[in-house]
């Protein structure tokens, strides 16, 4: 990012906390699970190892070792 955008007009960058824009609060967790894409239903080898790293009323963060 260009320095003038970060620094502003009057000096060094200020350390302000980022604004949280999420509707629902997240709860951290570490749960092992697997993912079975709908395109591979019926195939026994199509389960991908995954983990859930946080949950909220709006959903979960699913972490996979490959692109979905």
Q: Which of 49, 48, 50, 45 is nearest to 29 (CA)?
A: 50
Q: What is the pLDDT of residue 11?
A: 55
Say how far apart CA 56 and CA 18 lie, in whole Å.
Answer: 19
Average confidence (pLDDT) per 10 residues, the chain, 68 residues: 48 68 89 87 82 94 87
Return the structure tokens found at 58. Answer: 């709006």
pTM confidence score:
0.58
CA distances from 13 to 2, 8, 38, 50 (A): 12, 7, 47, 38
């Amino acid at each position: 990012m260009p320095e003038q955008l970060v620094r502003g007009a009057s000096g060094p960058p200020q350390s302000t906390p980022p604004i949280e824009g999420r509707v629902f609060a997240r709860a951290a967790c570490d749960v092992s699970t697997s993912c079975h894409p709908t395109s591979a239903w019926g195939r026994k080898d199509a389960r991908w190892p995954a983990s859930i790293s946080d949950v909220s009323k709006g959903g979960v963060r699913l972490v996979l070792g490959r692109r979905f």
